[in-house]
Structure 1
Amino acid sequence: MGLHALRFRLVDSENSWGAKRRQRRAGWLAETFPDLAQMSVIDLGGRVSTWAQSAVRPKHVHVVNLEDAPADVPEWAEVDRGDACALPRHIASRRYDLVFSNSVLEHVGGHERRLRFAETVHALADAHWVQTPYRYFPIEPHWIAPGMQFTPVRLRVAVARRWPLAHTRPDCREKAIQQVLWTELVDRSQMRHYFPHSQIRAERLAGLIKSLIAVQTGRA
């Protein structure tokens, strides 16, 4: 219980170290896109609550993920249930000022699906901001487990079931396998491949790359 409380203080609470890092990243987003408050944004895999708490909120936010829509959606937002790698036609045919995605690329399900995700990003807008944790940061960010991403699947499953800093430990081995196999961190070469015309920015912690962000402003 004490170690799980440590996770809450590190990354999950509103005043945690992780929350401060997310706030800093949001500031970076606003600096990169100074017209953000006037933009229409599609958020692939996100939540309305993230934007509701943001210091700078876009004029309109369209959230698309695999979860059911919340009961209350503010007037400046809309929410659809959909697969970002294969959007339904009524969404895929639209255009936005900016495509945003935070910590989703590593969960879409392998190389071919990541290619489809990138195609979706390029098709929806001229500008994008796609963030994902960096594979070679020494701490696996989802479980806060040192080096977990470099170990065999069998060991990762064991860690997922027992590691005290996990967000929610699965109650059976099959659920643990699903969590592990649906989490695949990427490196800089992969990001350059998926977003060849984007600037690949590095978010650092203690001098080490913690996450990668593919940025395209859409400006000439």
Structure 2
Amino acid sequence: MSVVDLGGRVGFWRRLPVRPKHVHVVNLEPAPADLPEWVEVDHGDACALPAEIADRRYDLVFSNSVIEHVGGHERRLRFAEAVHALAPAYWVQTPYRYFPIEPHWIAPGMQFLPVVVRREVARKWPLAYTPGRTREEALSRVLWTELVDKTQMRAYFPDATLRSEKVMGLTKSLIAYKTA
């Protein structure tokens, strides 16, 4: 199986007990230096893939917790279009907007606060994954994190089965998947 991972990391695939024959990771981050022979990494924007990636076909598109970081509805649409075009099957996971804990900062209800308050939480919250940032850095992180809901996921992936991952009976994240 050939897999394209939009926004993923090589480390994720290395840790799996079973792996695909070929994984192509496309991310805005730089590639690690030591790549196994079964991994290919390209620097690229999943919402505006370069032709040399967009013209390829894979067995599966995989994306884990990326769609909420691509930047607004228009870019999420482009992301979804890339998913649909690259393979007949896909698996796209995202944290659920209405889970009571915002997963990036592990802060209760943070996703519902005004942007200025989210910025300050992002700077000072003790459980944040990046506390101590400047106001500008924190604001950038906050603005690039926009959780989505079930209606949005159904709109972006209308041919998918939508599953809910639950914790204590509450939906924690959503998975849109389609088999070939």
Where does residue 119 of structure 2 map in the other structure?
157
Give the superposition deviation at 1:172.
0.8
Structure with the higher strand share, 1 or 2: 2
SS of residue paired to 2:116: helix
Where does residue 108 of structure 2 map in the other structure?
146
Where does residue 68 of structure 1 map in the other structure?
30
SS of residue paired to 2:146: coil
For the pair 1:171 / 2:154, whether they are aligned, the reply is no
CA RMSD of aligned residues (A): 0.6
Work out which of the residue numbers 148, 156, 180 in structure 2 matches 1:194: 156
CA distance in 1, matches of 2:120, 2:143: 13
Give the superposition deviation at 1:171.
2.5
CA distance in 2, matches of 1:97, 1:147: 38
Counterpart of 2:50, as a letter, is P
Where does residue 42 of structure 1 map in the other structure?
4
Bigger relative CO (Cα 8 Å, ≥ 6 apart): 2
Counterpart of 1:62, as a letter, is H
1:50-106 C-alpha deviation (Å, 9 max, x unpaired): 000012211100000001111111001000000000000000000000000000000
Spell out the pairing of 1:1-220 with structure 2 (5 A cutoff). Answer: 39-218=1-180
Whether the 8 Å CA contact 2:46–2:82 is kept in 1: the answer is yes
CA distance in 2, matches of 1:197, 1:132: 17
TM-score, structure 2 length as denominator?
A: 0.99
**Identity in percent:** 73
CA distance in 2, matches of 1:172, 1:71: 30
CA distance in 2, matches of 1:49, 1:141: 20
**Consecutive unaligned residues in structure 2, runs of 5 or more:** none
Length, aligned pairs only: 180
Structure with the higher helix share, 1 or 2: 1
1:165-217 C-alpha deviation (Å, 9 max, x unpaired): 01112531000100000000000000000000100010000000000000001
CA distance in 1, matches of 2:17, 2:165: 20
CA distance in 2, matches of 1:167, 1:157: 13
What stretches of structure 1 move > 2 A for 4+ residues in a row?
none
CA distance in 1, matches of 2:57, 2:77: 19
Whether the 8 Å CA contact 2:123–2:130 is kept in 1: the answer is no
SS of residue paired to 1:184: coil
**Consecutive unaligned residues in structure 1, runs of 5 or more:** 1-38
CA distance in 1, matches of 2:132, 2:56: 38
CA distance in 1, matches of 2:90, 2:71: 21
